[in-house]
Amino acid sequence: MSLLMCPVCRQSLNLAENTWRCEQGHSYDVAKQGYVNLHVVQHKHSKTPGDTAESVLARREFLQAGYYQPLQQAVVEILQQLKPKAILDIGCGEGYYTDAMQTVANDCIGVDIAKTAVQRAAKLNSKVTWIVGTGATLPVQNHCVDVCTSLFSPIPQAEIARVLNHGGHLIVVTPAPKHLYDLRAALFEQVNLHEPHKFVEQLEAEFELIQEQVIEAPLSLDQMALKNLIAMTPYAYKTNPERRMLLEQNSVFTVIAAFQIYLFQKRKKPSI
């Protein structure tokens, strides 16, 4: 049974001859790269939303080099414990984490607003259902997903609650307080610690915190990896260009990546 929902009329979508269709007659062709675009024009706020092509390419090269593999492995281990049948990765980007998630579940959906990212992701793993879409209206039916994941991505709380089944789980990954601290200290005059716990407070009404952990990965970056790391983050356009240029002259740069992982469970609605 299909898990997808038409973003226009909210009816279920079914795949027939490389086209997703709903009963109202809306149809969406699967692109030759293997993804489907469900980001309809009425939901768009810009012509090319999401990450730039340069940022997507930098992230692909950096992640494929294995620098964040400890995080990928930690997420997979949590999923193995949960044994989900269906996973939805919100903000899947170019697919590095989603590709690994697919090995755990029968159905795995990766959705991202950036078309260039999903085009790259679709080449990684044809068993994933890759979608260009928005978290504001997740193109997934009600209560049909066992686990939602959001790794360094927006957390559309109401939509996640809608698509998760009763007792379903949400995995959130966000920077731990000292994530890439030395890198940020080189790029900015003032460096504030990340505040991951704010997400626990934001989600408290509908999600109960079940588990939390911090994963640290010491990185020794050559010049190309350093440039890719900067280019794939918001630091690329937030920092002073001169500071960035000076930092990128390093032939080797060491820094610690620190990831905060939260596992939530959807709260049961009180019976009336």
In a domain? residue 73: yes
Residue 63 counted as domain residue:
yes
Question: Is 148 annotated for ligand binding?
Answer: no
Is 68 one of the annotated binding-site residues?
A: yes
Q: For residue 89, is it within any domain?
A: yes
Write out 181-240 in H/E/C secondary structure: HHHHHHHCCCCCCCCCCHHHHHHCCCEEEEEEEEEEEEEEEEHHHHHHHHHCCCHHHHCC
Beta bridge partners of 140: 4
Among 35-49, 175-189, 190-204, 217-231, the minimum mean pLDDT is found in: 35-49
List the single range of 79-88, 132-141, 234-243 with lowest mean pLDDT.
234-243
What is the mean predicted confidence (pLDDT) over 58-83?
97
Report whether 108 belongs to an annotated binding site.
Answer: no
Total of domains in the chain: 1
What is the rounded distance in angstroms from the CA atom of residue 243 to the CA atom of residue 172?
Answer: 31
246 belongs to a structural domain: yes
Residue 26 assigned ligand-binding role: yes
> Residue 76: which H helix or E strand, with range?
helix 69-82
| pLDDT score at 268 | 85
Q: Within a domain: residue 193?
A: yes
Q: What is the mean pLDDT of the chain?
A: 93
SS3 166: strand
> Which distant-in-sequence residues (6+ apart) come within 8 Å of 160 by Cβ?
90, 138, 148, 150, 170
**What average pLDDT does this structure show over 144-151?**
98
What is the mean predicted confidence (pLDDT) over 154-163? 96
Residue with tokens 């980001």: 39
Look at residue 112 and give its three-state secondary structure: strand
Q: What percent of the chain lies above the pLDDT cut of 90?
A: 88
Mean pLDDT, rounded, for 166-185: 97
Instruction: State the average pLDDT over residues 175-190.
Output: 96
pLDDT mean over 232-237: 88
22 is in an annotated binding site: yes
Instruction: Output helix, strand, coil percentages for the chain, rounded to the nearest 5.
Output: 30, 30, 40
Q: Quick one: pLDDT at residue 44?
A: 46
Residue labelled with tokens 């918001």: 234
Residue 268 to residue 99: CA distance in whole angstroms: 30
Q: Give the pLDDT of residue 148.
A: 98
Model confidence at 255: pLDDT above 70? yes
Burial of 207 (0-12, 13-18, 19+ CB in 10 A): buried
pLDDT of residue 210: 97
Specify the CATH number for the domain of residue 121.
3.40.50.150
pLDDT band (50, 70, 90) for residue 43: very low
Q: Is 92 annotated as a binding residue?
A: no
pLDDT average, residue stretch 118-145: 96
Q: Which pLDDT value is given to residue 51?
A: 77
Confidence of residue 52 (pLDDT cuts 50, 70, 90): confident
- The verdict on residue 217 lying in a domain is yes
Going by C-alpha positions, the residue among 161, 191, 193 that lies closest to residue 178 is 193
Please indicate if the annotation marks 94 as binding a ligand: yes
Asked if residue 45 has pLDDT above 50, the reply is: no
Whether 79 has a pLDDT exceeding 50, the answer reads yes
Average pLDDT, integer, range 238-248: 92
- Residue 64 lies in domain: 14-266
Instruction: Quick: pLDDT tens for 88-102.
Output: 999 999 999 999 999
Question: Does the annotation place 166 within a ligand binding site?
Answer: no
Decide if 6 is inside a domain: no
Within-domain flag for 3: no
CA–CA distance, 140 with 20 (Å, rounded to integer): 13
Contacts 24+ apart (CB under 8 A), 243-247: 243/186, 243/187, 243/188, 244/187, 246/186, 247/183, 247/186, 247/187
Strand 86-90 and strand 35-37: pairing? unpaired
Confidence of residue 271 (pLDDT cuts 50, 70, 90): low
